[in-house]
Structure 1
Amino acid sequence: MRDLEAMVGGARRQLGRPPEPIGSSAGDGPPRFELFHAANSICSQKVRVVLAHHGMPYLSNAMHIGAGETYLPEYVRLRMAACDLADLPLVSAHSGSTAVRTGGCDPAVVPTLVDWQTRQVIIDSKRICIYLDQAAPGGARLRSDELARLVDEELDVVDGLPNYQMLVGNAPEAGRQASSPHAGTGVAFAMSKVERCNRYIEEHGHDEILQRAYRAKRAKELDAAERLFAPASMQTAYGQAEAACERLERKLATSPAAWLFGDSLSMADLFWGIELLRMQNLGADRFWTGGARPRVAQFVRRCEAEAAIRSAVLDWPGALY
């Protein structure tokens, strides 16, 4: 990518703090990878877990979602370059999930990975995790060639779950709210993003790239405010999440081993583990506790003990709500 140093440097300067080295790199040179991410972003957590599992050092640019740092113009410009180079359409509506394949490329979210060796910028957590895994030695990969199709099926299921709605919308049961401090604020939360986009659209009226970016993001969040948090939509979202847990329970019943595809951990296990721990954090662990789905409950306990999940999520400051 042309002008990569300038683009990344601009994003760093607007954040106002230098990146933090995580891990150690061979020869004490700069790490190959640089990550823009947020502690409590589930998509960022997936990437951090894969990096931790493979012991890959990286430069960490921690961003604060609540402070609007993912909307900073130079970071958005970096994301837009990656969206365009990957030939991904920009978002125009909100699917309720974080999946690029169904929602399009969002120019104001995390994570974003920079590979300084190949000079590429990669976006979308699933794409980033697969990219990192392919950079690992063959025998250590979380998504081996022979299991790639099966692993990808699970990644797509997890990727399509309604995390946004479950985070900031009310659970559908009467008198019950999710434990997130954002529960019930979905419409206000989405409209605050619309207002932030409005300000940037006004400030950068002559910048075609930023105009495209903020107008696309505005359309997505306005759609979320109008559609996603009504009681019927929340009922559908929670129903989708519980159906996914039931699917996982049945799949675990067919595997006599510790993990989904044998005794070795796969990327599917890590994605599922992070997703279930997020549900647990939001008070949705009723899907498997109390004997509802015992195999899922056992799976969650195994994931809680997994070193990469502990270091990149459970013990990562600010990762839990």
Structure 2
Amino acid sequence: MSEEAGFEQEGGPFWDPRITANIRAAGAVLWRASARGTVEIAVVHRPKYGDWSLPKGKLDPGETPVLAGAREVREETGLQGRLGRYLGHVTYPIPGHRKLKRVDYWAAEVVGGQFSANAEVDMLSWYPLDRVMDQLSYPMDRQVVRVFSRLPARTSTLLLVRHASAGRRGRFNGPDEQRPLDREGKRQAQALVPNLLAFGASEIYSADPLRCVQTMQPLAEQLGAEIAIEPLFSEQGFAADPAPARERLRNLVSDKAVRVICSQGKVVPDLLGRLAEQDGIGLPSARNRKGSVWVLSFVGRRLVAADHLDRSLSVQAVNA
């Protein structure tokens, strides 16, 4: 019997709210477009359990759920998946232990690689959406696929970052626009790189304050890309007239590139709040702390999902 068999998601009859999820894992609904233009979902067979499931696995020490989800897809399937919108999480108990396992899921489009059997997965099969439910061994996996199917598989991603830590304004002797990242901010900027790349980050835009530009520099170096300066996304530029910044953000949505925008604390909530209000979606609770990221998913130029990654790149805030 698999560790998952017979258990349900958070809130189900086997769930004890007094037990904190202390085992973390991540995975993905890995999808591709077929030759006929339909969406197909990858289902993997795990010989250890004799089951068919979505690719997933436990976080390595110090690893974020974002990186674990992308890594597990790559390790279990040999395929490279580009993460998209967040699909939520399931939580279930581990038999024989007072422990809960939490698994966070993202949509992930195949962008490269080739399947090869390995120690964890010996078979991979592709199924269209109207057949995949019958192939999955667990109700929890079927629930995640249902969430995936509520929106179009292919969405455009825009990544909105609040700049990393730059100390206190009152302790910097100089123009505030020139205040640099502090030691913690430099660490946060480096940590952002692999997590943003997991979503396919390819182009970079930044408000003009130095701390915003410095937050994006490690990513720019990794990509070999220029940082386009966008004064509209600075606190000063936004305060002068918010409307052009809102329009500029929509204009940066692209189906050919995943663009990253770095902005400031007094801009991000208003900029995103008005966008969500116009497009009729709710936003998860979030503190918008320095070094945090909003993953924005669009169909055309319409915002259809907004997911928040806290500065630790945890998705806890999504369900707060």
Same fold (TM over 0.5): no
Q: Which has the higher strand share?
A: 2
Q: Which has the higher helix share?
A: 1
Q: Determine which structure has more spread, i.e. the larger CA radius of gyration.
A: 2
